[in-house]
Amino acid sequence: MGRQLLSLLSADAESTEAAKVLLDDTQLRALYETLTLTRILDDTCTGLHRDGRVGFFVPSLPAAASSAAAAIALHDGDWLFPSFRDAAAYLARGGQIDDFLAQLLGAEGDLVKGHQLPGQGSLPAGRFVAPSGAAGTQIQHAAGVALAMQLRGDTQVAAAIFGPSAVAQGAFHTGLNAAVRHQVPAIFLCRTLGTEQPTVAARGTGYGLTTELVDGTDCLAVANAVTTARAQAIEGGGPTLIEAVVDGSEPEQDAAGRLRGFVEHRGLWDAEREEAFVRRSQDRLLDALEAVESAGPVSAEGVLQDVWAEQPWMLQEQAARLEKTRLAEDGDA
């Protein structure tokens, strides 16, 4: 291909400055905090998984850099359709640690009542729609939401994040095709593995999208690409496909660590803040874990709810049967 990966973040903060970072200081601080919190959450949840307390957990690293950067570069009213690896985006869009853990552990208080795969909560206020198990379907949803924004004349964008398996699916084709046909305000962010030659951005060119090829471990490069794509989309310039190449083999998977020097250089962070933030985050996490464990599992009634807008007679009957079983188990029947 010969195309260079866009990258900004270097060990030398002055060089990073020279590369023109588009995030403002508030966003930069939020980005650093999100990445740090994601690392702490990841460590804890990986431990829970290892101990058999969670059946299924998809770690955020090395996706966290692109995940957090995209979520923070988007604006409040924008919609985000994440992949399985986007806990960082969940946190950046307003997700709370205790909600995340309640959902992960299927505990009472889980906002989705034990319905959804662990680690995949939705955030209506954050315009964040958890993915299904079907790879790539969210590409089409982002195109659809972006079309709705365009039809209604709303100046927002819709973004989808997905991985290489989605690129092989039909929704990649139909989603990009539809987005280009209607010139909708959408951003498609595909993470690919650095072990392979990047090919996704080139396909976007074929569809007629604007494309970007960025270093997916460089949160500032991803944030710049998303910010630029957003501005273009808002101006009616159509959708963008960003290929974020993620080299999972790099020792520098610690995205927060890579950003630290730059936020310190900007005067947004220091050792004291670091210590306080980490301690506060760990405390919050432990408190949340304790609360979730004492809450017990979600109620069984909840699994029969929210299938249709109103519970039809079949489910009412099945709920009554479930209640009878429960009473029998409790020795009350």
Partner 1 sequence: MPDLTIAQGVNQALRDEMHRDDRIVVLGEDVGALGGLFGVTAGLLEEFGDRRVIETFAAEGGLVGTAVGLALYGLRPVAEIQFADLVWSGFEQLVSEMAKLRYRSAGQYSCPVVLRVPYGAGVGGGIYQSQSPEAHFCHTPGIVVVAPADTADAAGLLRSALRGEDPVVFLEPKRLYREGSIASDEAVPLGSARLRREGTDVTLVAYGSTVPAALEAAQAAATRGIQVDVLDLRTLVPLDIAALLRSITKTGRAVLVSEATRTGGYAAELAATLAERAILHLEAPVERVTGFDTPVPYAHEDKYLPDADRITAAIERVANF
- Point out which residues bind partner 1 (CB under 8 A): 79, 111-113, 115-116, 122, 124, 129-130, 132-134, 137, 140-149, 151-152, 158, 170-171, 173-175, 177-178, 181-182, 302, 305-309, 312-314
Closer Cβ to partner 1, 31 or 147, answer by number = 147
Nearest to 62 by CA among 193, 227, 243, 198: 193
Closer Cβ to partner 1, 47 or 77, answer by number = 77
Closer Cβ to partner 1, 170 or 257, answer by number = 170
Closer Cβ to partner 1, 30 or 111, answer by number = 111
Q: Is 100 exposed, middle or buried (0-12, 13-18, 19+ CB in 10 A)?
A: buried
Nearest to 263 by CA among 18, 7, 26: 26
Cβ 107 to partner 1 shortest distance, Å: 14
Please enumerate, as own/partner, the contacts of 269-277 that have beta carbons within 8 Å and a separation of 24 or more. 269/29, 269/32, 274/36, 277/33, 277/36
Cβ 299 to partner 1 shortest distance, Å: 12
Q: Look-up: residue for tokens 């299904």?
A: 132
Q: Phi, psi at residue 45, to the nearest 5°?
A: -70, -35
Closer Cβ to partner 1, 294 or 313, answer by number = 313
Cβ 236 to partner 1 shortest distance, Å: 15
Cβ 38 to partner 1 shortest distance, Å: 22
Q: DSSP code of 117?
A: -
Cβ 132 to partner 1 shortest distance, Å: 5
Asked if 163 and 191 count as a contact pair (C-beta separation under 8 A), the reply is yes
For residue 174 the two structure tokens come to: 């139909």
Helix axes 25-50, 97-104, angle to 10 degrees: 30
Closer Cβ to partner 1, 62 or 126, answer by number = 126
Q: Look-up: residue for tokens 């959408």?
A: 186
Closer Cβ to partner 1, 231 or 314, answer by number = 314
Nearest to 66 by CA among 209, 180, 186, 223: 223
Cβ 115 to partner 1 shortest distance, Å: 5
Please tell me whether residue 104 adopts helix, strand or coil conformation: helix
Cβ 96 to partner 1 shortest distance, Å: 14
